[in-house]
Amino acid sequence: MSNKKKLWQIFGPVLAAFVLLACVFLLPFPLTHYSQNDLRESSVSFSSQIVKGEAVKNAAFSDKKVNYVPFFGSSELSRIDSLHPSVLAEKYKRNYQPFMLGKAGSDSLVHFLNMQEMQGTLKTKKAVYVVSPQWFTKTGSDAGFNLFYSPLQTVDWLRNIGHNQPSETDQFVASQLLEKSVVKNNAYYHRLLTKVSKGEKLSTANLSTLDIKHQILSRQDALFSRCESSSNYKSRVLPAAKSLPKIYSKNALDRLGYEEGQKGTTNNDFHIKNSFYTTRVMPEKKALKGAQKDYDYTKSVEYAYFQSVLDNFAKNHTDVMFVITPVNQRWAKYTGLNNDMYQESVQKIKYQLQSQGFNNIADLSKDGGKDYFMQDTIHVGWRGWLELDQYLNPFLSSDSSQTNYQINNRFLSKDWQNLKPSKQSLSSFK
Amino acid sequence: MPNLQPYADPNYFVYLLLALVPLAIGLYFGKRFVAYEILVSLAFIFLIFDDKTHAGQGVALIVYSIWQFLLGWGYVRYRKEHNQSSVFYTVTALSILPIFLVRLSGAGIFHAQLSLLGFLGISYLTFRSVGMIIEVRDGAIKDFHPVMFLRFMLFMPTLSSGPIDRYTRFAKDAAVAPAREEYIDLLGDATKKLFLGLFYKFIVAHYAEIAYNYFQGMAMSDAHHGMILSWWLIPVAYSYGMYLFFDFAGYSLFALSISYVMGIRSPINFNKPYASKNIKEFWNRWHMSLSFWFRDFVFMRFVFLFLKHKWIKNRNTVSTIAYFVNMLVMGFWHGLTWYYILYGFMHGAALAGNDAWIRFKRKHKKVIPHNKFTEGFAVVLTFHFVMLSFLVFCGFLDTFWFHR
């Protein structure tokens, strides 16, 4: 055999493989089909894969049969019990169905990037944003970042910026992403984000490479995001909905929540769900006593991440409701979490919202002491979910209203991040 | 500057292979561009260490290389005139000293700041340099070639995790360009190995790792309930065994593939280890470049030394002791923790036990059957023993029992 022929035998198959791969990634045939059941299950799968990608989000939010509404949040979303928003929407045939985005670790930076893949949705749909004061630690809770990050988010974001001058929010987020190892070690993204962080416009050449990246990455997303399977809807939401009374009555449901809470929290004095208590609290109970007395949520880089999300809502005129979550008061007393500090951080969050025209706020932060309002340490459940429904149902069932947001970029600043909130300091912050 | 950890993600291969194209073309036409090869090697080593978190390691690598260079150069010069055992042992000890200090400080026994001497690949470079000193002692290496020495020490494809090459073997390849026919065959082999490696590391090992993490989580929840043992430890062991093999074998295939493209036939590292009929065969198939190194430079030396001086007369006793010494040294090399040492001990005992069994079998040939079924049984038994030893090796038991 001639040498040339040998070389062909070696590299021919490699070339063929690359050609095939290019076909899969570049030819315009659809790879995705999501059934109604797939979407329903995805709505309560809490999968990081969905936050990373755009295929499932696109399919769900453009679905013609079911009006899926994005619920951005973190660990609380997955506390499914009889009065969970997904269960109530299913049982009482609401004209909306929550689509849960996020799980433990997804904070505002994650959601800012998550939203870049669904800007169209934010323009046409309402949204719910669940804020946990626990996100607002000094350096932000970026432990979850790698779990939820995908380059596709960055590509979508940069394409959304397009030929425009990057906004202050864009510059801020770019400078923060440059600190993350997943971005830092990739020369391509590093170069583009450095540009954005300096406020320089992306060139036409930049944008055409981004188009190619988008083609490849979204293809990859469509190929792989369907592998994730979950059965929460079938195994948890539907059975829970079955046990509810036929006709919605707040009093009857409240009683039911009380009873279920009572039945579910028998092995501890904190009103924490039994299974959570045995697996998560008991092993470390001693160590946790007084462990949170120095926690401080009032000064945090997270306030600026949160501002990035607000800016993005404003840009898309999204009609959005914010939910501020409480902590279990019985538990907080044990861990020594300072309630005054907690309320100060809530005031700071609310000031940031209201002063910019975000007035739909479900502030549950003072309800953490009510019986069976919480399912465990920091997550609402039973009666808490029902209370939240009093805000969500009227908001989501009605038509969208005109939004009027006035964004103040000062909320991105270090001054705001480190501001010690008090009545005076807040009202004088401009 | 981007930071590129070796073989960590698919982009790395694109960059590296592109950089190697000129070298490959040269080799195809019978020319070896040594300067270019050194340049690429150094550039990709630089890219491992070029960020804040790795810069210290880069400095450590430079210091380490100078140290080994001086030892190698000095010992070759000395060896031309003299051949005293004490000098040989001293030089060997000095060569091992850096990794010894790093391991001590890593275990928290000694000054913690000495861990600054460590860097990605130190354990593998130690084999290269110690092996070289032994070859000088044996007279296999007569002259010190500074450039060849550095090419060998800092050969980039195998820098971080082997396979472990020998200087004499490496120098033979590296001095010339292979014949065109041979080089084409090497390229063919390189391509096969690269794709098999991609399949191993980025697909099989990826899922095995997910399973391994999942089972660890399940076992830990039993630990939180105060249980001393958990059924979940069984899948922890097997999923780790799968992860370790596919990750490491995949990695070794990458290293071989890149070596071949550079016209260097680095030794293979894995040969279907889980199909071994006994533990001795396992070590001839698992992490082969390491176990052969230990066989040649620890086990054999130990046996010869004892037999030569007649410290112990019984050959079987000597080899039993040598097995333990061999595997315990390997355990220590991995790190000074109870589980690496126990792992070494388990394998030492298994090797000694295996020898004893084979002697016993030979004596009783007539009563002990030997057929396909017993061979199959032997494979299954060996595999399960290895998985058990990997449960120890992976260190999860340490977390499970002592860091709940």
Taking contacts as CB-CB distances below 8 angstroms, the residues of chain A near B225 are 278, 283
Q: What is the pLDDT of residue B1?
A: 66
The four Cα atoms B64, B66, B69, B74 give a dihedral, to 10 degrees, of: -110
- Is the minimum CB–CB distance between B187 and chain A shorter than 8 Å? yes
Taking contacts as CB-CB distances below 8 angstroms, the residues of chain B near A278 are 225
DSSP state of B202: I
Cβ contacts from A onto B, under 8 A: 32
Per-residue pLDDT tens for B353-395?
999 999 999 999 888 888 999 999 999 999 999 999 999 999 9
Tell me which amino acid residue B187 is: L
Contact criterion met (CB below 8 Å) for B287 and B334: no
Angstrom distances, CA of residue A153 to CA of A39, A45, A128, A313, B352: 21, 20, 20, 16, 57
Distance from CA of A9 to the nearest CA of B (A): 8
Per-residue pLDDT tens for B271-286?
999 999 999 999 999 9
ipTM: 0.79
Residues 6+ away with beta carbon under 8 Å from A46? A77, A78, A100, A102, A103, A232
In angstroms, the CA B300 to CA B319 distance is 9
Q: What is the pLDDT of residue A226?
A: 66
Best residue in A2, A5, A10, A217 to probe B by mutation, most B CBs within 10 Å? A10
Q: CB–CB of A3 and B191 under 8 A?
A: no
Distance from CA of A341 to the nearest CA of B (A): 32
Taking contacts as CB-CB distances below 8 angstroms, the residues of chain A near B181 are 3
Distance from CA of A44 to the nearest CA of B (A): 21
For A10, the closest of B4, B51, B187 (CB atoms) is B187
For B221, the closest of A186, A187, A279 (CB atoms) is A279
Q: CB–CB of A11 and B191 under 8 A?
A: yes
Distance from CA of B184 to the nearest CA of A (A): 7
Three-state DSSP state, B165: coil
* Percent of chain B residues topping a pLDDT of 70: 99
Q: Where are the domains of chain A?
A: 30-423
- Is the minimum CB–CB distance between A6 and chain B shorter than 8 Å? yes
Locate A253 and state its tokens: 């449901």
Q: What is the pLDDT of residue A142?
A: 65
Q: CB–CB of B2 and A186 under 8 A?
A: yes
Q: CB–CB of B225 and A184 under 8 A?
A: no
For B2, the closest of A11, A187, A282 (CB atoms) is A187
Cα A242 → chain centroid = 28
Stretch among A69-73, A129-133, A402-406 having the lowest mean pLDDT: A402-406
DSSP state of B203: I
- Is the minimum CB–CB distance between A287 and chain B shorter than 8 Å? no
Three-state DSSP state, B227: coil
For B224, the closest of A187, A190, A283 (CB atoms) is A283
Q: What is the pLDDT of residue A222?
A: 87
Distance from CA of A259 to the nearest CA of B (A): 28
pLDDT at A44 over 90: yes
**Sheet containing A320-324: which strands, arranged edge to edge?**
A97-101, A68-72, A127-131, A320-324, A361-363
Chain B residue with Cα closest to A285: B224
Q: CB–CB of A7 and B225 under 8 A?
A: no
Give me the residues paired with residue A99 across strands. A70
What residues of B are annotated to the active site?
334
For A185, the closest of B3, B191, B221 (CB atoms) is B3
What is the rounded average pLDDT for all residues in chain B? 92
In angstroms, the CA A122 to CA A320 distance is 9
- Is the minimum CB–CB distance between B182 and chain A shorter than 8 Å? no
pLDDT at A356 over 80: yes
- Is the minimum CB–CB distance between B224 and chain A shorter than 8 Å? yes
Chain B residue with Cα closest to A8: B188
Taking contacts as CB-CB distances below 8 angstroms, the residues of chain B near A283 are 224-225, 404
A1 — pLDDT class (breaks 50, 70, 90): confident
Per-residue pLDDT tens for A210-254?
999 999 899 888 887 765 678 999 999 999 999 999 999 999 999
- Top-confidence residue, A25 or A307: A307
Taking contacts as CB-CB distances below 8 angstroms, the residues of chain A near B187 are 7, 10
Q: Choose among A47, A76, A74: nearest CA to A376.
A: A76
Residues 6+ away with beta carbon under 8 Å from A301? A138, A139, A140, A176, A417
Q: What is the pLDDT of residue A228?
A: 62
pLDDT at B331 over 80: yes
A284 — pLDDT class (breaks 50, 70, 90): confident
CB atoms within 10 A of CB B239: 22
Taking contacts as CB-CB distances below 8 angstroms, the residues of chain A near B180 are 3
Taking contacts as CB-CB distances below 8 angstroms, the residues of chain B near A104 are none
Q: CB–CB of B225 and A187 under 8 A?
A: no
In angstroms, the CA B226 to CA B224 distance is 5
pLDDT at B293 over 70: yes
> pTM of whole model > 0.95?
no
Q: CB–CB of B224 and A279 under 8 A?
A: yes
Best residue in B9, B224, B260, B261 to probe A by mutation, most A CBs within 10 Å? B224
Rg (CA), chain B: 23
Q: CB–CB of B188 and A10 under 8 A?
A: yes
Per-residue pLDDT tens for B94-136?
999 999 988 888 777 777 677 778 888 888 999 999 999 999 9
Best residue in A185, A190, A267 to probe B by mutation, most B CBs within 10 Å? A185
- Segment A273-282 shows an average pLDDT of 89
Q: CB–CB of A9 and B188 under 8 A?
A: yes
A40 — pLDDT class (breaks 50, 70, 90): very high
Chain A residue with Cα closest to B187: A10
Place of tokens 């329903």: A40
In angstroms, the CA B269 to CA B253 distance is 8
Q: Where are the domains of chain B?
A: 10-177, 184-402
- Is the minimum CB–CB distance between A7 and chain B shorter than 8 Å? yes
Taking contacts as CB-CB distances below 8 angstroms, the residues of chain A near B191 are 10-11, 14
Best residue in A6, A182, A284 to probe B by mutation, most B CBs within 10 Å? A6
Q: What is the pLDDT of residue B162?
A: 79
**DSSP letters spanning B273-341:** GGG-SSHHHHHHHSSHHHHHHHIIIIIHHHHHHHHHTTSS--HHHHHHHHHHHHHHHHHHHH-SSHHHH
Q: CB–CB of B184 and A186 under 8 A?
A: no
Tell me which amino acid residue B120 is: L
3-state SS of chain A?
A: CCHHHHHHHHHHHHHHHHHHHHHHHHCCCCCCCCCHHHHHHHHCCCCHHHHHCCHHHHHHHCCCCCCEEEEECCHHHHCCCCCCHHHHHHHCCCCCEEEEECCCCCCHHHHHHHHHCCHHHHHHCCEEEEECHHHCCCCCCHHHHHHHCCHHHHHHHHHHHCCCCCCHHHHHHHHHHCCCHHHHCCHHHHHHHHHHHCCCCCCHHHHHHHHHHHHHHHHHHHHHCCCCCCCHHHHHHHHHHHCCCCCCCHHHHHHHHHHHHHHHCCCCCCCCCHHHHHHHHHHHHHHHCCCCCCCCCCCCCHHHHHHHHHHHHHHHCCCEEEEECCCCHHHHHHHCCCHHHHHHHHHHHHHHHHCCCCCCEEECCCCCCCCCCECCCCCECHHHHHHHHHHHHHHHHCCCCCCCCCCCHHHHCHHHHCCCCCHHHHHCCC
